[in-house]
Amino acid sequence: MASPRATISIIKCLSPQKIHNVSSIRQALSPKSPATKSFRQTSSPKTPIRNSLSAENILNGLQSPIFKIDTPYKRRIVNEGLLDECRTVLGNGAFGTVYKASYKGKEVAAKVIKNNKRIDSSIDMEKEVSFLRHSNIVRVLKVDEGPAMTLVTMELCGNSLQNILEQNPIRSEERIFIWISIAEALKYCHKMGVVHADVKPKNVLMGSDNQPKLADFGSAIFIEETETTSVFHGTPGYAAPEVVRGNIPTPLSDIYSLGVLAWQMLSRTPPFSGLHKHTILYLTGKEKPSKRIQARKRYKIEKKVRDHNKKLKKEAKKHPKKKQKIIQVPNQCPFKEDILKEVEALKKQKEEEKQKRKEEAKQRKRDELEKAGLAGLVANAENKQMEHDSLETITDSNKTEKFGKKEENSLKAYYKEFKKVLDEADVILEVVDARDPLGTRCKQVEEAVRLAKGNKRLVIVLNKADLVPRENLDQWLKYLRKSLPAVAFKSSTQDQAKRLGRRKLGKKSEENIQGGTCFGAELLLSLLGNYCRSTGNTKASIHVGVVGLPNVGKSSVINSLKRSKACNIGNTPGVTKSMQVVQLDSKIKLLDSPGIVFENSKDADASAVALKNAVKIESLHDPFTPASVILKRISTHQLMEMYDVTEFTTPEEFFAKKAARMGKFRKGGIPDTLAAARSILTDWNSGKIRYYTVPPEDKNTHVSASILTSSLKEFDIESFAAEEKMVLDGLASDSSKSILDPLEISSTGPVESTMDVEGENESDVKVQSKKGKKKKKVDDKKNVPVQRKKKVDPIFEIEGNQQLNQIKKLAFKKQKKQAARSAKKAGVLADVLSGVNLKTDDNYDFKTDFSIK
């Protein structure tokens, strides 16, 4: 039996009035006592009772009888809203009071709600969500509406999670079980299109079997609702920030409330506990502060930073860093004098060696002058004059060399990458241009493959085969196969990064032949697969190196075989800087290498290199020479039709007319012939000007036939004759779409040079560079920019662009300066020669005795 103090505390909770002067428990519990009367008066929904009662905590018959909902008394409740007798109150909320009742012989919970406009939407929602059926949701049996009250009948549950948390802490297993159960209930609600919008411990009830159940759907809404209302959904502290800001609750809002519920089960207190609800709403709904600061504050910070830096500089001046002292020999060292003497002798020896080298250099110069005599002095003066003139049109040699290395990198480094590919590869694919296979074929590459360690195979790939006629392609294949295996190929020119188009063998319909589709990939893959199988019974893994001159399409061939853009590509040489490894399949790896241009002479033909697209067009100092070579190979009528220009007689006239047609003009309305010449080279290299070469009649294969003999078994192209015919037919139909007929020209011949195998001589490779920005020369004495002489532009020599007065003035000025310069040199040279005596014993200083200013 409970103690009297416990019973009195229960009675105090039942009545809003305080009980004074209670002499005994029976008097307090009698029907005539003030406590009982106050309990009867406050049992209506107007003044709900705070605590809940049950059979375990009601003493000596305090529990009132439950009423039956399925009797006429229910009609009186919903019509009049009054209760004559004291009923068992299970709990209360913002919208009504929950009583214990019976329905169809079972104990249920009856929620009595007083009707008003503010809670009509909640009543409607309780009625609409009554279809929810889940083991973790309180089931709503029926909803009865009346003029005064609304009676909601639901299944009976025990205590709420809020009361459980206030009494004792919950074990971790129970917390996890409760949280998972409520999460399952919310998942079911969201699946049915309902958002609870008020998840909190007070709305989590424990069933008869200790099963957590979610209750009170008065604030719930449907997910498809988009109309905004002024009604706040939820409870401060549990509502999500977006709901506090006025947005409609979403399933994410329920997840936020579920997280708050987990927090409260761990800490037994909700977030922002003890604060006013307005403060809670503010803290929940406030957004992140802006990063912007006031101007006065920003200026204040900048001022403090300046003051701080100023202070540091001032301190640094007071305490400057002292230079590191030279470590001296300590006085206690027994051999100090000997050590100092050795150091002094070593310094003196180095100084003498340095002076001796200077004297030897001077003596060599004197000997060269004595051997050369007067003719040598004149030749030396002419060489210096030529060097001086070259400086007027070309920037300083050091700057040019530095800029060239930046633009083109070092060809020596490119050769090292080529050596890596050659060492790792089992098969070498030498990619050549089908328009000029002999001109883009490198003899030294084939020789390096033949001399390399291991039994390496070499295959020639005629890329850009769609740019030449079918008959010419057959002739080149027949010619090249006398020495090496050769296949025709056309790389894909599509722009997408993946799934590049490839023409399958056997499909000859015109709709399958597209301009950007790849041809010949399957034939080349078949040859490589045949080589893998030829090594043994099982298919072996191989490395395939792809080499060739710049811009012949090495990276494009790899991308076409891979059917994705695995390597960077571009229409300018030098895009590939180092070796790249591309995994084609489980057995084949492709090795991409940078292109190399080898030259064995300083006077190599720059025009031939430019026509092979081996250097960048922008880096050419003289694009007119190779462009003029192109014009000589094409008839005047074809050029007029191709570029829509009038008749011309000289290349300079054509460049001027083409620049005007392009809209390229320089200052003064003069046509930009430099841009026109570069555009001709661009059209030549890009394929707009179609051309082809004819194979030579001689049988010179340029490579030993031993390579072909050893590679016939693995690369038997005759076994793939049918597939090759399909590829060539597709290429022929694709190349026939061209408007202009290709031009037949003579080949420039294979690239020949002495390859720097050891990589020590960097001067053997030629680096083309762009011309850097010229800086104005400044006179050191007067600090005034030096005005350079203006040269006559070759464009003025074209008919129609002549400016006679200006040309006459420039020519006269140039002639006058040249005469003065020659007279000065002659006078200085005569003075020098008059004082030179080869038989004298006096020391001759080249700097002091011979100086031409």
Contact indicator for 447, 428 with CB cutoff of 8 Å: no
Q: Are 836 and 845 in contact (CB under 8 A)?
A: no
Q: Is the dihedral of CA 250, 256, 259, 261 positive or negative?
A: negative
Diameter of the chain measured on Cα atoms: 155
Amino acid at 78: V
Q: Are 795 and 671 in contact (CB under 8 A)?
A: yes
Residues that are catalytic: 198
Q: Tell whether the torsion through CA atoms of 697, 703, 708 and 709 is positive or negative.
A: positive
Q: Which strands make up the sheet holding 427-433, listed edge to edge?
A: 486-488, 457-463, 427-433, 542-547, 588-592, 580-583
Q: Is 499 left (phi over 0), alpha (psi -120 to 50) or beta?
A: left
For the residues of 185-251, what is the DSSP string, one character each? HHHHHHHTTEE-----GGGEEE-TTS-EEE---TT-EETT-----SPPPS-TTTS-HHHHTTPPP-H
Tracing tokens 């790899």 back to the chain, one arrives at: 558
Provide the CA 174 distance to its chain's centre, in angstroms. 49
Give residue 62's identity as a one-letter amino acid code.
L
Closest by CA position to 205, among listed 196, 215, 197: 215
Instruction: Round to the nearest angstrom and report the end-to-end CA distance of the chain.
Output: 128
Could you give the angle at the alpha carbon of 524 between the alpha carbons of 523 and 526, nearest 5°? 65
Chain CA centroid to CA 369, Å: 63
Question: What letter represents residue 48's amino acid?
Answer: P
Identify each DSSP E strand in 489-613 by its residue range: 542-547, 580-583, 588-592
DSSP assignment of 598-667: B-S-TT--HHHHHHTT-S-GGG-S--HHHHHHHHHHS-HHHHHHHHT----SSHHHHHHHHHHHHT-B-T
CB atoms within 10 A of CB 467: 20
DSSP line for 690-723: -EEEPPPSS---SS-THHHHHHTTTT-GGGGHHH
- Tell me the CA distances in angstroms from 203 to 102, 182, 666, one per residue in order: 22, 10, 83
DSSP state of 687: T
Q: Tell me whether residue 111 is annotated as binding.
A: yes
Q: C-alpha distances in angstroms, 582 versus 449, 463, 650, 782?
A: 21, 19, 49, 61
Q: Which residues are annotated as a binding site for ATP?
A: 111
